[in-house]
Chains A and B, each alone.
Chain A
């Protein structure tokens, strides 16, 4: 996989964008260039060729770079391509090389030619048939299957060269990060919030991650886990930030002053209030959580309504209709599952009431909220937060000016 000097990146919805298309392509190009700078490090020529991005580098693209590129929102497919001079006799060698590189050697294939250079003397059907025949001759164990082939051998005919490809890496699709607003993503360490983050990355949302750190009720290992998650999620972004906000002291204060069965939902209330304050500080547009309706007591319709009441900004909940299994499946695909499963102490469960409130009474909630204004504490917590920059290749560095 590591000797491709050319990559074709197919975009997803960008071509839908009518008059704004140029802006979207510019944002996409910027993100691609950022990713290349972080992952590939060598000089790359990025060109837009008939609505696709064509990346050419003198040093072959590494596996890492391919994985990095295939995480970018807005890209539909990453296709490693062999560029061959427009000489028909030179076509077979690289095709066989591609096929021989596969682990299994008893697969079916189909040749598909796209002749963009219409003046080329052979037409697509002729090329398909002839190349198919040559492959069968050279590798008799292979079979042709035109309906459902294991490998699609794609040949593209251009005025100066052929492009040959046999592999397609699926990317998230959607829109490039940065074209659809700025969210503050509330991370918890579980399965849900990272998946929610991924879903909104591919909808083009720039994100700032926030974690409410309940030290001294939980220890460093929880913070380390969040940093690992943010590092993975950062690779779906194009440069993001992580805020670790100290929350233990306030949590204790809340736990000591409120009715036991309201603890969890009140923790949430103040976290959401704090996230609103953060969003305002950094000019974000909305909040993002991993809520799924009815999954736990704080995610009942009643509790969600109360939380929405305190939030000045809209709260995006892309997992609202997800079942746990669906979330976990996606978590595995995006690479956060194995981090989310690491066991850690969870302050909320330490304080968890025996019978958390499911249908909260508005009266008590409002009374408590009125009597307990923790605005100053929340502002102080934000002032004391530890902030990290997350590069597109997932490196966290301490950020002093935030």
Chain B
């Protein structure tokens, strides 16, 4: 198997699995219980939170565990209690957990304002600086785009937003954590969300960082766990596994990134030299090495995807969340890609399980498939 859909989800790391198995057995009690079994867990969870904050350079802030990054994003978008007339800056190229949740606010009179993307996929920060005003109460964007891999200049945006004290700055870091060395103090965002299953952790756990002084209304009400910010029994085994995955990925970050860059470059160079139907719309400089978007003119990406699947090679034709919508892709539209090409993109997302031999084999198969199909497909 050659798995190249790591931006959708990653295989669990053996050490993480070990932590998960052990803790599932060990930590069966409720962390809110008054007895020793509960209190031990509560302390463990608090320690994990501090560890995350310290590793991300967010000390002084708060960490809330959620069920997913989507929940973390919604917690901010709903929890800021925005009023009619307030503006929210967002990017239509971002994940639906941002776009849909923000556009939904217009029901109560909040005004979503879509920011512009430049042709290279980066935010148009000049336009953003001109448009921002006292009415802008939330700027809510993704650090790394899940479909294109574009890595945004978040620190520059952070610097601009420093002057707007009443504006909450939220970043979705789901695709950034584990690919970039995320330093919360440098970014300066008011909040930051991320999750475990993109970094070889389990699905079903995410986290929301809140900068010191940020207050939000909780999404879930109940037993007031996690300082009342998210009622629900804490999932100790998942919290510990998340921590484990986070530690592993960050310990090896530089080495892994180097390897990913090598694989990324290999694909770019190899396949474009073999067939001029291949095109890479975004540069290596503006993207994380793990995500590579590929345009194949003339053949629908779904067809290629399934031919590759037959060879036990797995990749994506869009993000998993929006791949049900046929043809049209709102991310591509926001990036200024003509609708007639929306069906022509593949997303290759590398992970720690990939090596050069796999990628060579992938390239050969892809080129062969496209050569084979182009003769008779319309």
Interface assignment of A296: CB less than 8 Å from any CB of chain B: no
- Give CA–CA (A16, B300) in the complex, Å: 56
Is the CB–CB distance between B306 and A256 below 8 Å?
A: no
Is the CB–CB distance between A219 and B377 below 8 Å?
A: no
Is the CB–CB distance between B303 and A352 below 8 Å?
A: no
**Chain A residues near B376 (CB, 8 Å)?**
252, 255-256, 260, 351
Interface assignment of B307: CB less than 8 Å from any CB of chain A: yes
Residues A351 and B303 in contact in the complex (CB < 8 Å), given A216-B309, A216-B310, A343-B326: no
Considering the complex, give the chain A residue whose CB is closest to the CB of B309.
A216
Considering the complex, give the chain B residue whose CB is closest to the CB of A249.
B310
**Chain A residues near B165 (CB, 8 Å)?**
none
Q: Give the residue among A260, A345, A351 with the most B Cβ atoms within 10 A.
A: A345
Interface string of A241-262 (1 = CB under 8 A from B): 0000000000010011000100
Q: How many residues of A contact B (CB 8 A)?
A: 13
Q: Give the residue among B303, B326, B375 with the most A Cβ atoms within 10 A.
A: B303
Within the complex, the shortest CB–CB distance from B341 to chain A, in Å, comes to 17
- Give CA–CA (A255, B303) in the complex, Å: 16
Is the CB–CB distance between B378 and A219 below 8 Å?
A: no
Is the CB–CB distance between A352 and B326 below 8 Å?
A: no
In-complex Cβ contact of B378 among A216, A343, A352 (8 A): A352
- Give CA–CA (A220, B352) in the complex, Å: 29
- Give CA–CA (A350, B375) in the complex, Å: 12
Within 8 A of A (CB), among B273-307: 300, 302-303, 306-307
Is the CB–CB distance between A219 and B302 below 8 Å?
A: yes
Is the CB–CB distance between A351 and B375 below 8 Å?
A: no
Interface string of B16-44 (1 = CB under 8 A from A): 00000000000000000000000000000
Instruction: Tell me the number of A-to-B contacts counted with CB atoms below 8 Å.
Output: 28
Within the complex, the shortest CB–CB distance from A281 to chain B, in Å, comes to 27
Interface assignment of A4: CB less than 8 Å from any CB of chain B: no
Within the complex, the shortest CB–CB distance from A288 to chain B, in Å, comes to 29
**Chain A residues near B326 (CB, 8 Å)?**
343, 345
Is the CB–CB distance between A345 and B307 below 8 Å?
A: no
Considering the complex, give the chain B residue whose CB is closest to the CB of A342.
B326
Is the CB–CB distance between A216 and B303 below 8 Å?
A: yes
Interface string of A284-298 (1 = CB under 8 A from B): 000000000000000
Considering the complex, give the chain A residue whose CB is closest to the CB of B299.
A350
**Chain A residues near B300 (CB, 8 Å)?**
345, 350
Is the CB–CB distance between A217 and B378 below 8 Å?
A: no
Is the CB–CB distance between A256 and B377 below 8 Å?
A: no
**Chain B residues near A255 (CB, 8 Å)?**
376
- Give CA–CA (A215, B300) in the complex, Å: 14
**Chain B residues near A256 (CB, 8 Å)?**
375-376
- Give CA–CA (A343, B376) in the complex, Å: 23
Considering the complex, give the chain A residue whose CB is closest to the CB of B376.
A255
Residues A219 and B306 in contact in the complex (CB < 8 Å), given A343-B326, A345-B300: yes
Considering the complex, give the chain A residue whose CB is closest to the CB of B372.
A252
**Chain A residues near B375 (CB, 8 Å)?**
256
Considering the complex, give the chain B residue whose CB is closest to the CB of A352.
B378
Considering the complex, give the chain B residue whose CB is closest to the CB of A258.
B376
**Chain A residues near B302 (CB, 8 Å)?**
219, 345
Q: Give the residue among A216, A217, A255 with the most B Cβ atoms within 10 A.
A: A216
- Give CA–CA (A269, B303) in the complex, Å: 24
Is the CB–CB distance between B307 and A216 below 8 Å?
A: yes
- Give CA–CA (A216, B300) in the complex, Å: 12
Residues A351 and B307 in contact in the complex (CB < 8 Å), given A219-B302, A345-B300, A345-B302: no
Interface string of A325-351 (1 = CB under 8 A from B): 000000000000000000101000011
Interface string of B163-178 (1 = CB under 8 A from A): 0000000000000000
**Chain B residues near A351 (CB, 8 Å)?**
376-378
Considering the complex, give the chain A residue whose CB is closest to the CB of B324.
A221
**Chain A residues near B377 (CB, 8 Å)?**
350-351
Interface string of A4-39 (1 = CB under 8 A from B): 000000000000000000000000000000000000
Considering the complex, give the chain A residue whose CB is closest to the CB of B327.
A343
**Chain B residues near A215 (CB, 8 Å)?**
306
- Give CA–CA (A216, B301) in the complex, Å: 11
Within the complex, the shortest CB–CB distance from B318 to chain A, in Å, comes to 13
Considering the complex, give the chain A residue whose CB is closest to the CB of B308.
A216
Within the complex, the shortest CB–CB distance from A346 to chain B, in Å, comes to 12
- Give CA–CA (A350, B306) in the complex, Å: 15
**Chain B residues near A260 (CB, 8 Å)?**
376
- Give CA–CA (A318, B302) in the complex, Å: 35
- Give CA–CA (A86, B303) in the complex, Å: 70
Considering the complex, give the chain A residue whose CB is closest to the CB of B306.
A216
- Give CA–CA (A352, B378) in the complex, Å: 7
Considering the complex, give the chain A residue whose CB is closest to the CB of B302.
A219
- Give CA–CA (A260, B326) in the complex, Å: 27
Within 8 A of B (CB), among A164-218: 215-217
- Give CA–CA (A252, B307) in the complex, Å: 12
**Chain A residues near B310 (CB, 8 Å)?**
216
Considering the complex, give the chain A residue whose CB is closest to the CB of B303.
A217
Considering the complex, give the chain A residue whose CB is closest to the CB of B311.
A216
Within the complex, the shortest CB–CB distance from A108 to chain B, in Å, comes to 46
Within the complex, the shortest CB–CB distance from A257 to chain B, in Å, comes to 10
Within the complex, the shortest CB–CB distance from A253 to chain B, in Å, comes to 11
- Give CA–CA (A260, B309) in the complex, Å: 27
Within the complex, the shortest CB–CB distance from A254 to chain B, in Å, comes to 10
Considering the complex, give the chain B residue whose CB is closest to the CB of A351.
B376
- Give CA–CA (A257, B356) in the complex, Å: 36
Is the CB–CB distance between B378 and A350 below 8 Å?
A: yes
**Chain B residues near A252 (CB, 8 Å)?**
376
Within the complex, the shortest CB–CB distance from A214 to chain B, in Å, comes to 10
Considering the complex, give the chain B residue whose CB is closest to the CB of A255.
B376
Considering the complex, give the chain A residue whose CB is closest to the CB of B343.
A345
Interface string of B321-348 (1 = CB under 8 A from A): 0000010000000000000000000000
**Chain A residues near B303 (CB, 8 Å)?**
216-217, 345, 350
A215-B306, A216-B309, A350-B300 known; 8 other A-B pairs, CB under 8 Å? A217-B303, A219-B302, A252-B376, A260-B376, A343-B326, A350-B378, A351-B377, A352-B378
A sample of 7 cross-chain residue pairs with beta-carbon separation below 8 angstroms, ordered by A number, consists of: A217-B303, A217-B306, A343-B326, A345-B300, A345-B302, A350-B303, A352-B378
Rank and list the top 7 A-B pairs by shortest CB-CB distance, nearest first.
A216-B306, A255-B376, A216-B307, A216-B310, A217-B303, A343-B326, A219-B302
